[in-house]
Every structure is written in C-alpha cells, then in structure tokens.
Amino acid sequence: MIQEDRLIDLFKTLCLINAPALEEADAVAWTKQYLIDLGLEVWEDQAGAKIGGNANNLFAKLPGNKPGAPRVFLSAHFDTVEPTAGLIIEERDGVFYSASDTILGADDKAGMAPAIEAVRVLKESGEPHGDVYLLFSCAEEIGLKGAAAMELADLNLDFGYVLDTGPPVGTFVTRTATHDKIEFLVHGKPAHAGKDPEKGINAIQVAATAISRIKSGRIGPETTANFGIIEGGTGTNVVCPSVRIRAEARSTQVPELDQQIEHMIREFNRAAEEWGATVEIKHVRHYDAYEVPSESRVVQVAQRASSKLGFTPTLRTTLGGSDANIFNAMGIPAIVVATGMDKIHTHDEYISRKDLVDGARLALELLREAAQS
C-alpha cells in the first residue's frame, strides 16, 4: 500500500530542488539516483543538447512479470515556473503551501512523487504487471520541449498517463486544444519626439490600432486569444521605431483557431498599411489538439481504476497543453490525470496531503488495472 510518510518526504524533497525550465540538472541527478536505488532500470536521453538546457529527460523501467500485459507509462515533468529558489514549505491543516516569496512547485512535483511511489509499491508487492515506465520530462513549462525531444519508438508503449492537472483527483483530461503562437514585429519610423514628431511613425500606435480591433480573451466556449508580451521603443524622446508583440490563440476547433489567426494577421496588416508602417509576422502551430475516445483502452482503464477507489471518473476538456499532446501526436495514447494541485503558477499554489496520497493510490490502481486489461 502507499506509504504516506515516504510519499510526503519525496514530494517535499523534489519541491525543494530548484528546477526552472532548462536548468533542471540538480533535480534530474537527484531523481536518477533515487530511482537507481529503488532497483529500476534508469537512463537519460540527449534532450538537453537538443533544446539548449542543462538537463535531459529521465526514464525508468520496471520490467514486467506478466507475459502479454500492456506496456504502460506514468509521466510528469521536472521543471516549474519561477521562482522556486529559496522555497520554504509550510503545512497548515493538512495542506502544503509556500511560506516564502516563491511558488510551491506542486506543478509538477505532485505528479512526480505519486508516480514514483506507485511504481515503488508495485515493485515491492510483486503483483503481476507488464513493463512499466516512468517518463520524466524537462522544459515542459516553456513549450513541451523535453517531451518533443523524446525518442520513444523503441519502447513500444501501449498507452500511458500524464499526472499534470488540477483537481478533483479521479478525473481525467481526454480532450484538449490546438495551440498557436504568433509574433508581430511592427516597423515604424523614428523621429525626434519633441522636434519632428510628424516625421515619424510610432510603431506603438500602429500596434495599438491593430490590437484595439482584434477580438481577444474568450472568443468562444472553447476558443481563446491573448496578447501576452510587448517590447519596443528606445526612449521617451524618440518616436518608437519598432515594437514586438507576442500573442497566442488556442481552440479545440481548428477551423475556429484558423479564423482567429487570420483575423489577427489581417488587422495588423491593415493597421500597418493605414499608418504607412510595415509588419513582419511569424506564426507557429505550437502543438496539436487531441481527443481520446471514451471507449479506448487508456480511458476505460482509467475510469475503472478511479471508480474502484470511490472517485468520480469524469472526463474533462481543457484548453491547456501538457506532454500528453506530444505523446498522442507520436501515436501513443495518453490522457492527463488530475493530481489535486491548485492555483498553479501563482504564489498561492497548494496541494493537500490527502490529495497527494489519493493521487498515488490512483496511479498505483492505474498500473494494476492496466495489467488486467
């Protein structure tokens, strides 16, 4: 059975290792030795060199002892949004918070710790199972870069579970959005803001004109768009010569997403023409949506496992991305498992002791149920 004290100690230890995206080396090294000490087969890939980080993805295998059972995986990611350096963990009424000027980092240490504990218990029990893998990625928070660098074909995985979303425990994300990134670089014309302002073209005004005409925020029930970063200008006494705007849009419906992107591009081109400016536009499809059918084995196993533990196995849709987007794009069925972490990416992030234990119980039951499927 799940060992609560062991699980909590592991969770805290993982949280206390600072691991921003592309700088996860210390967390990877510690976890690698921990998994080796558990008697698992452990190895790294070469993702760090591919994505410009100091760490690789980490893999571990518990060899199967039941011939013909499916090869399954549990996955989570090392990196956290910043800041986590100097974290002090506080437990109040059975809930873990950051008591320092940092985030807690439960996203995604609340996925890693239960996954490791589940595999450990399965190994200790000796009960039947197929090959079980742990896939721990780097640089998830900055674009699923670690997972995208994984080479998984030789593992012949049948399906798996990504422990990386919020409550309630026992629910699963089976449907997500396609996510596009778009960057606008507006070129105006510099001039002295006091002496000759009429001789300049202010790139900020061009961008403002475009943005004022663009639908953003909640576009539809499952379509959103956002302008997130703006950079430009050289001084208050200079008519702004250029400005860079970074934006995104996402939707579960690709035609709606394409329509939104076309709308954004059209309005920037129109504003540039009106002001006599120019604009460079870079558009990238960041990752593709997935929808895993409810009748598929990966979902059926999940719902049976959740029900056996007394949870309500609701299937959810989210506009957020995870490594499951990458795995499904590779042809490996994967869904996201709720861990109980809440208010992620904020200083108010928290997770309860109970949800950590329940998450580990569910991860273990997923492996048990998979072995019988």
Which residues are catalytic, by number?
79, 140
3-class SS letters over 88-109: CEEEECCEEEECCCCCCCHHHH
Give dist(CA 174, CA 336) in Å, integer. Answer: 7
- R_g over Cα of the chain: 23
The residue type at 143: G
Q: What values do phi and psi take at 136, rounded to 5?
A: -110, 115
Query: Looking up tokens 């109970």, which residue turns up?
Result: 354
Find, among 248, 79, 82, the residue nearest to 147 by Cα.
79
In degrees and rounded to multiples of 5, residue 239 shows phi and psi of -60, 125
Tokens, residue 320: 């957020």
> What's phi and psi for 339, nearest 5 deg?
-110, -20
CB-based burial of residue 44 (10 Å sphere; 0-12 exposed, 13-18 middle, 19+ buried)?
middle
